[in-house]
């Protein structure tokens, strides 16, 4: 079975899993705990495509009509 | 007030255990009677004096306090047999379904059990919010036919709303009594309870089956004595009486060894009463009713809905220091002001602390007392005693005794800051701070420029006024909420406060090229606009000196102000002649001088981005903009007042020639319609894509008729004089449109319902005046007449149908959008934009990483954009 790469779809934003150091920097930048980020389920197609595990933080780079490019972060939770 | 402050870190909800209910109870209620013959509460009855005091003057038998102090105390009823708490019926069902009836263990294989226990432990540490997911999964997974612990066969459980459970046996369904349910729930070990999503320390599952019922204090269900001396009890008391009565009967029958059937009947009745005691709108059972037939208002009904405790008493509090009355306009007020009736000003007060600077003034206020306007209603002494100034005769003596540190509750007076509000409060400009102007008569008065943000008019609208009581509140209102600080709306980057209606007509008439004013007229206009300064040299010196309206407007503009834009009267020509525009629609302001162009809606109107008003606020600040609106706008009104601006129906009269031309147009359209119908009848009409033949015909007819109406309107406007007031209003954007004018003069046109011609009514025709199947214009709501020519009865009827649809639509839309607004506000009310640009909830959860993704405050933006590059370039080039 061929697997469809969701990131090839134009409506799916780019996303990457952050490294430990990057997460640490992000936490310091916003002064928050990881759980205070918006959550995303591990079962979300984006997490599955990235292979993100619970506890990871993913960075999402979206197209934005007002800002051109907007960056968001998601904390991966189980389920 | 003692100052012991504690902060709540968290709240945990649990169930009341029978022991807890007994522990917090002060009396076991045993009799259904409330009062004896002497009208005294019966001990052990529902009005037992130990439950708290409700009559003033008495002392509580439990805590010894009097009415305001005694919090009320719970009692309890010992139920003869347990009953299901209907609020937990669903949970009980799920728990019964997933546990063994014999030993109470969860019906999972031992491996699964291990796995989920481990998972649950891990989740409790890392993702406590997600524990419920495991419980959901466990409940879904329990399908074992046989208990892995005791080996007993399991039966399927069925739940029948609201409180009945059956067990499916091969012999048939067996009803589970609440007692049976309770014993099963009791058997579930604590560790299994935890896996089922409950904390066994505060919520054992068997507590969902009631054996003891708490009786709320009498202050929760006070009885009222009617004028006739008859006591009337609260609905809750009535319901509790029912419960006790049945409970006693059940007890007697059990003790007497009555047949099982009778006991079961009574038991079920008890269950019914307890269920309706909690929620009298439980589905599946008839609501308990009062003797009059009115359904009883029990616990759930007290909390639920718009009139419930939450929405009515907790989110919707009533406040002191507020006033409400009808509003009316006053163009002589500043936009920052509100006119307050004298009678209101003598009731609303501000507490002012007496200092050595204001003591003389305060003494004077006290002497004036509550009935003379700048006066005072109360004095609060440093020891907290209040002196009511209404009663003492010798206020002079009181004034003399006034000392530093006292607080005087003085009347509000000119310049005080108050909050002014009109419902529905849909956006932040629905509540703005105004400065008080105490005025005679009985209405609140406001400047017309603030009508748009409040969405107010003067057809009977009422508004509310609130008086902030502390220095902080006043400072905050003044700095953040003052009307001039709200000129720019966060809805779109533009001013929401600005000129409307006559301001626009006046500005247009004043700034037109042909307006030339004498020295007397100029002086009159400027003095009325509070202008202080030199008169500019007249634009025309010979033969007599004359000033233009543009010159006068320029006096109120900042000296270095530059602006270029197109007015509303612009014809949007293919080639714009700019300064030489025949309509004078090209507005140029250079160095604070209006060089060309007229002022109208696009330039000074409310809700117009990229207007003069917008630039003034953005580039010169709110003070300058406010000053412009207070002075220049007054100029416009004074001018239009002096000139006179009116319409009469004879001005909308058309010459015979025009009428003939219109009639020809309409007759042509009618013929075209007939031809279309003919083609259709001959079966020669070509179907439009995606439409049926009938629909095609309808669309084509509508097109033809609409075209005719448009043409008729065009003809009518050709015959209108340039001086016609209605035309000026339509062109400048002050009020009305060219279409409205066409309706009045030429032809009202097609009336529609749901975007279609009118078809409803009689069988195959809209009214009995027409032949069945008539497809013509007249038979389906085309109004040939103009309003001025009068509508015939049939046209009038069709017009009413169309008008009614409009009314119904607005009514439906407002209720729908109101509900949507409520839900949005509930979801968003606690979010806030933090200083680091993120949007967060109160507990610090990030919702947006940058407000609106670009971090731009729309109120401070240029039409949504952070910077307006065109304007900047224009400015640089100009300089
Ligand atoms: Mg109104
Ligand atoms: Zn008490
Ligand atoms: Zn078992
Ligand atoms: Zn033009």
Distance (Å, whole) CA B529 – CA B550? 15
- Dump pLDDT digits (tens) for B670-689: 888 888 888 888 888 888 88
| Residue in B126, B836, B855 closest to A30 by CB | B836
CA B649 to chain centre: 40
pLDDT of chain A, 79 residues: tens digit per residue: 567 888 888 889 999 999 999 999 999 999 998 889 999 999 999 999 999 989 899 999 999 888 888 999 999 998 7
- Dump pLDDT digits (tens) for B159-191: 988 899 999 888 889 899 999 999 999 999 999
| Residue in A66, A72, A78 closest to B849 by CB | A72
Residue B759: pLDDT above 60?
yes
Partner A contacted by B132 (CB < 8 A) = no
Query: Can you give the CATH number for the domain in which A36 is found?
Result: 3.90.940.20
Residue B192: pLDDT above 80?
yes
Query: Does A25 fall in a domain?
Result: yes
Cα nearest neighbour of B854 on chain A: A67
Cα nearest neighbour of A41 on chain B: B130
Name the pLDDT band for B57 (thresholds 50, 70, 90).
Answer: confident
Substitution target in B840, B854, B858, B864 with the highest count of A β-carbons within 10 Å is: B854
φ, ψ of residue B326 in degrees (nearest 5): -70, 150
Query: Does A42 fall in a domain?
Result: yes
Q: Give me the pLDDT at residue B2, please.
A: 61
Across B205-219, average pLDDT: 94
Helix, strand and coil content of chain B, in percent to the nearest 5, comes to 40, 15, 40
From A35's Cα to the closest Cα of chain B, the distance in A is 8
Partner A contacted by B853 (CB < 8 A) = yes
Q: Give me the pLDDT at residue B808, please.
A: 92
Q: Could you tell me if A20 and A49 are in contact, meaning their C-beta atoms sit under 8 angstroms apart? A: no
Q: Is the pTM of this model over 0.90?
A: no
Ligand 1 centre distance from Cα of residue B452 (Å): 12
CB < 8 Å to B864, chain A: 66
Distance (Å, whole) CA B380 – CA B364? 16
Residue B4: pLDDT above 70?
yes
Burial profile B642-663: b = 16 or more Cβ within 10 angstroms, e = fewer: eeebeeeeeebebeeebbebbe
Distance (Å, whole) CA B538 – CA B549? 11
Distance (Å, whole) CA B389 – CA B362? 13
Partner A contacted by B850 (CB < 8 A) = yes
Name the pLDDT band for B81 (thresholds 50, 70, 90).
Answer: very high
Q: Give me the pLDDT at residue B523, please.
A: 92
Across B318-346, average pLDDT: 95
Q: Which residues pair with B214 in a beta bridge?
A: B76
Q: Give me the pLDDT at residue B151, please.
A: 85
Cα nearest neighbour of A68 on chain B: B854
Query: Does A4 fall in a domain?
Result: no
Distance (Å, whole) CA A46 – CA A52? 9
Distance (Å, whole) CA B592 – CA B553? 9
Partner A contacted by B133 (CB < 8 A) = yes
From B751's Cα to the closest Cα of chain A, the distance in A is 40
Give me B802's structure tokens. 């169309």
- Dump pLDDT digits (tens) for B800-850: 999 999 899 989 888 898 889 889 988 999 999 999 999 999 988 999 999
Q: Could you tell me if B253 and B262 are in contact, meaning their C-beta atoms sit under 8 angstroms apart? A: yes
Question: What is the domain extent for residue A22?
Answer: 10-77
Query: Does A5 fall in a domain?
Result: no
Ligand 4 centre distance from Cα of residue B567 (Å): 8
Q: Which residues pair with B465 in a beta bridge?
A: B323, B420
Ligand 1 centre distance from Cα of residue B459 (Å): 5
CB < 8 Å to B126, chain A: 54-55
- Dump pLDDT digits (tens) for B513-545: 888 999 999 999 999 999 988 889 998 888 889
CA B218 to chain centre: 36
Nearest to B507 by CA among B563, B559, B569, B452: B569
| Residue in A37, A66, A79 closest to B853 by CB | A66
Residue B334: pLDDT above 80?
yes
Look up tokens 């009469």; give the residue. B648
Cα nearest neighbour of B130 on chain A: A78
Cα nearest neighbour of B133 on chain A: A79
What are the start-end ranges of the E strands in B85-186? 156-160, 164-169, 172-176
Provide the mean pLDDT of chain B.
89
CB < 8 Å to B846, chain A: 30, 32, 36-38, 73
Give me B69's structure tokens. 């102090």
Partner A contacted by B836 (CB < 8 A) = yes
Name the pLDDT band for B53 (thresholds 50, 70, 90).
Answer: confident
Q: Which residues pair with B546 in a beta bridge?
A: B540
Residue B879: pLDDT above 60?
no
Residue B211: pLDDT above 90?
yes
Query: Does A1 fall in a domain?
Result: no
Distance (Å, whole) CA B602 – CA A10? 40
Q: Which residue has the higher pLDDT, B258 or B327?
A: B327
Q: Give me the pLDDT at residue B703, please.
A: 87
ipTM of the complex: 0.92
Query: Does A71 fall in a domain?
Result: yes
Query: Does A52 fall in a domain?
Result: yes
Q: Give me the pLDDT at residue A1, please.
A: 55
Question: Whose atoms come closest to the Cα of B105: which ligand?
Answer: 3
Helix, strand and coil content of chain A, in percent to the nearest 5, comes to 30, 30, 40
> What one-character DSSP code corresponds to residue B132?
H
Residue B1: pLDDT above 60?
no
Query: Does A22 fall in a domain?
Result: yes
Strands B172-176 and B164-169: antiparallel
Long-range pairs, B180-184, Cβ under 8 A, ≥24: B181/B84, B181/B92, B181/B96, B181/B209, B182/B82, B182/B206, B182/B209, B182/B211, B184/B96, B184/B99, B184/B101, B184/B104
Distance (Å, whole) CA B314 – CA B285? 30
Q: Give me the pLDDT at residue B288, please.
A: 86
Distance (Å, whole) CA B342 – CA B326? 14
Question: Whose atoms come closest to the Cα of B74: which ligand?
Answer: 2
Name the pLDDT band for B127 (thresholds 50, 70, 90).
Answer: confident
Name the pLDDT band for B442 (thresholds 50, 70, 90).
Answer: very high
What are the start-end ranges of the E strands in B591-631? 593-596
Helices in B686-762 by DSSP H: which ranges? Answer: 693-718, 725-732, 738-745
CB < 8 Å to B127, chain A: 54, 77-78
- Dump pLDDT digits (tens) for B575-594: 777 778 888 888 889 888 99
Q: Could you tell me if B279 and B301 are in contact, meaning their C-beta atoms sit under 8 angstroms apart? A: yes
Phi-psi region of B755 (alpha: psi -120 to 50; beta: other; left: phi over 0): left
Substitution target in A18, A28, A67, A69 with the highest count of B β-carbons within 10 Å is: A67
CA B160 to chain centre: 40
Residue B568: pLDDT above 80?
yes
Chain A interface with B: residues with Cβ < 8 Å? 30-32, 36-38, 54-55, 64, 66-67, 70-73, 77-79
Q: How many domains does chain A have?
A: 1
Q: Give me the pLDDT at residue B781, please.
A: 85
CA distances in angstroms from B164 to B249, B275, B277, listed in the order given = 22, 12, 17
From A17's Cα to the closest Cα of chain B, the distance in A is 17
Residue B878: pLDDT above 70?
no
Contact B846 A66 (CB under 8 A): no
- Dump pLDDT digits (tens) for B480-503: 999 999 999 888 778 999 999 999
Distance (Å, whole) CA B27 – CA B37? 22
Partner A contacted by B866 (CB < 8 A) = no
Across B721-745, average pLDDT: 88
CB < 8 Å to B844, chain A: 32, 36
Please give the angle made by the CA atoms of B190, B192 and B197, to the nearest 5 degrees. 95
Q: Give me the pLDDT at residue A2, please.
A: 65
Q: In whole angstroms, how large is the CA radius of gyration of chain A?
A: 13
Name the pLDDT band for B240 (thresholds 50, 70, 90).
Answer: very high
| Residue in A32, A38, A70 closest to B850 by CB | A70
From A45's Cα to the closest Cα of chain B, the distance in A is 19
Residue B408's Cβ-count burial label (10 Å; 0-12, 13-18, 19+) is: buried
């Amino acid at each position: 079975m061929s697997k469809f790469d969701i990131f090839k779809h134009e409506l799916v934003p780019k996303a990457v899993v952050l490294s430990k150091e990057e997460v640490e920097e992000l936490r310091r930048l916003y002064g928050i705990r990881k759980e205070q980020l918006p959550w995303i389920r591990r079962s979300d197609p984006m997490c599955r495509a990235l292979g993100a595990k619970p506890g990871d933080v993913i960075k999402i780079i979206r197209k934005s009509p007002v800002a051109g490019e907007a960056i968001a972060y998601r904390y991966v939770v189980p389920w | 007030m003692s100052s012991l402050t504690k902060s709540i870190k968290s709240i945990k909800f649990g169930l009341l255990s029978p022991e807890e209910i007994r522990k917090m109870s002060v009396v076991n209620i045993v009799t259904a009677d409330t009062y004896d013959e002497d009208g005294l509460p019966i001990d052990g009855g529902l009005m037992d004096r130990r439950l708290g005091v409700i009559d003033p003057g008495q002392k509580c038998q439990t805590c010894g306090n009097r009415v305001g102090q005694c919090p009320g105390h719970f009692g309890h009823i010992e139920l003869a047999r347990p009953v299901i708490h209907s609020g937990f019926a669903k949970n009980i069902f799920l728990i019964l379904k997933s546990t063994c009836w014999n030993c109470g263990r969860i019906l999972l294989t031992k491996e699964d059990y291990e796995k989920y226990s481990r998972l649950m432990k891990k989740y409790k540490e890392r993702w406590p919010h997600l524990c419920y997911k495991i419980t959901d999964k466990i409940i879904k997974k329990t399908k074992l036919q046989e208990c892995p612990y005791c080996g007993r066969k399991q039966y399927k459980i069925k739940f029948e709303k609201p409180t009945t459970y059956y067990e499916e046996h091969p012999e048939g369904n067996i009803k589970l009594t609440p007692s049976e349910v309770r014993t099963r729930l009791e058997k579930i070990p604590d560790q299994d309870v935890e896996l089922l999503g409950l904390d066994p320390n505060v919520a054992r599952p068997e507590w969902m089956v009631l054996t003891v019922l708490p009786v709320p204090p009498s202050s929760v269900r006070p009885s009222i004595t009617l004028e006739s001396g008859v006591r009337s009890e609260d609905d809750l008391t009535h319901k509790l009486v029912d419960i006790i009565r049945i409970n006693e009967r059940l007890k007697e029958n059990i003790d007497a060894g009555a047949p099982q059937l009778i006991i079961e009947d009574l038991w079920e009745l008890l269950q019914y009463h307890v269920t309706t005691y909690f929620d009298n709108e439980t589905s599946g059972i008839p609501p308990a009713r009062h003797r009059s037939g009115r359904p009883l208002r029990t616990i759930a009904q007290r909390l639920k809905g718009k009139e419930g405790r939450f929405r009515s008493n907790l989110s919707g509090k009533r406040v002191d220091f507020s006033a409400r009355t009808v509003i009316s306009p006053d163009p002589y007020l500043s936009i920052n002001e509100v006119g307050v009736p004298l009678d209101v000003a003598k009731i609303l007060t501000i507490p002012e602390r007496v200092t050595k600077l204001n003591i003389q003034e305060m003494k004077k206020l006290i002497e004036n007392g509550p009935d003379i306007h700048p006066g005072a209603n109360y004095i609060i002494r440093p020891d907290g005693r209040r002196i009511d100034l209404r009663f003492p005769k010798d206020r002079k003596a009181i004034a003399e005794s006034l000392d530093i540190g006292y607080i005087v509750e003085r009347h509000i007076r000119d310049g005080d800051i108050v909050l002014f509000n009109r419902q529905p409060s849909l956006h932040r400009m629905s509540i703005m701070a105004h400065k008080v102007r105490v005025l005679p008569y009985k209405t609140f008065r406001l400047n017309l420029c603030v009508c748009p943000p409040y969405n107010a008019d003067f057809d009977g609208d009422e508004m509310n006024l609130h008086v902030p009581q502390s220095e902080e509140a006043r400072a905050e209102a003044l700095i953040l909420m003052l009307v001039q600080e709200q000129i720019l709306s966060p809805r779109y980057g533009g001013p929401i406060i600005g000129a409307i209606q006559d301001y626009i007509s006046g500005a247009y008439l004043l700034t037109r090229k042909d307006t030339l004013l004498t020295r007397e007229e100029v002086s009159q206009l400027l003095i009325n606009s509070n202008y202080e300064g030199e008169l500019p040299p007249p634009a025309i010196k010979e033969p007599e000196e004359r000033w233009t309206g543009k010159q006068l407007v320029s006096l109120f503009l900042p000296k270095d102000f530059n602006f270029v834009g197109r007015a509303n009267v612009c014809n949007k020509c293919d080639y714009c002649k700019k300064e030489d525009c025949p309509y004078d629609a090209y507005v140029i302001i250079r160095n604070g001088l209006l060089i060309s162009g007229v002022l109208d809606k696009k330039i000074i109107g409310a809700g117009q981005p990229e207007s003069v008003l917008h630039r003034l606020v953005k580039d010169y600040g709110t003070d300058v903009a406010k000053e412009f609106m207070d002075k220049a706008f007054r100029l416009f009104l004074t001018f239009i007042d002096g000139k006179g601006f009116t319409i009469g129906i004879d001005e909308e009269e058309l010459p015979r020639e025009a009428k003939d031309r219109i009639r020809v147009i309409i007759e042509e359209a009618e013929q075209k319609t007939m031809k279309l119908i003919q083609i259709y009848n001959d079966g020669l009409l070509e179907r439009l894509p995606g439409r049926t033949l009938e629909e095609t015909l309808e669309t084509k007819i509508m097109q033809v008729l609409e075209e005719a109406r448009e043409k008729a309107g065009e003809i009518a406007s050709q015959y209108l004089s340039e001086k016609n007031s209605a035309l000026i209003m339509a062109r400048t954007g002050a009020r009305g449109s060219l279409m409205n004018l066409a309706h009045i003069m030429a032809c009202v046109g097609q009336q529609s319902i749901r975007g279609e011609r009118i078809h409803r009514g009689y069988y195959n025709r809209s009214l009995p005046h027409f032949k069945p199947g008539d497809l013509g214009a007249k038979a389906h709501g085309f109004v040939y007449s103009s309003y001025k020519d009068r509508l015939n009865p049939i046209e009038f009827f069709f017009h009413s149908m169309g008008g009614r649809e409009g009314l119904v639509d607005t009514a439906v839309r407002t209720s729908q959008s109101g509900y949507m607004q409520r839900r949005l506000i509930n979801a968003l009310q606690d979010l806030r934009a933090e200083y680091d640009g993120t949007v967060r909830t109160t507990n610090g959860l990030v919702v947006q990483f940058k407000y609106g993704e670009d971090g731009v405050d729309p109120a401070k933006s240029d039409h949504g954009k952070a910077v307006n590059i065109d304007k900047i370039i224009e400015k640089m080039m100009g300089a």
